[in-house]
A = this chain, B = another copy of it.
Amino acid sequence: MIRHAEPADYARVIALVDEWWGGRAMAAMLPKLFFVHFRETSFVAEDDGRLAGFLCGFRSQTFADEAYVHFVGVDPAARASGVGRALYERFFEAVRPRSFVRAVTSPVNDASVGFHRALGFEVERVDEDYDGQGQARVLLVKHLDRG
Contact = CB atoms under 8 A, between A and B. Distances in A.
Interface residues of A, number: 30
A68 B25 contact: no
Nearest to A59: B61
Contacts of A130: 32
Interface stretch (A38-46, A75-83, A108-116): A38-46
B28 A29 contact: yes
A86 interface: no
Interface string A11-39: 10011000000000101110111001111
Interface centre among A11, A15, A131 (most CB of B within 10 A): A131
Contacts of A11: 129, 132-133
A109 B110 CA distance: 39
Interface in A110-146: 129-133
The 8 residue pairs across chains A and B that have the minimum distance between CB atoms: A28-B28, A37-B60, A14-B132, A39-B62, A37-B62, A38-B61, A27-B132, A32-B131
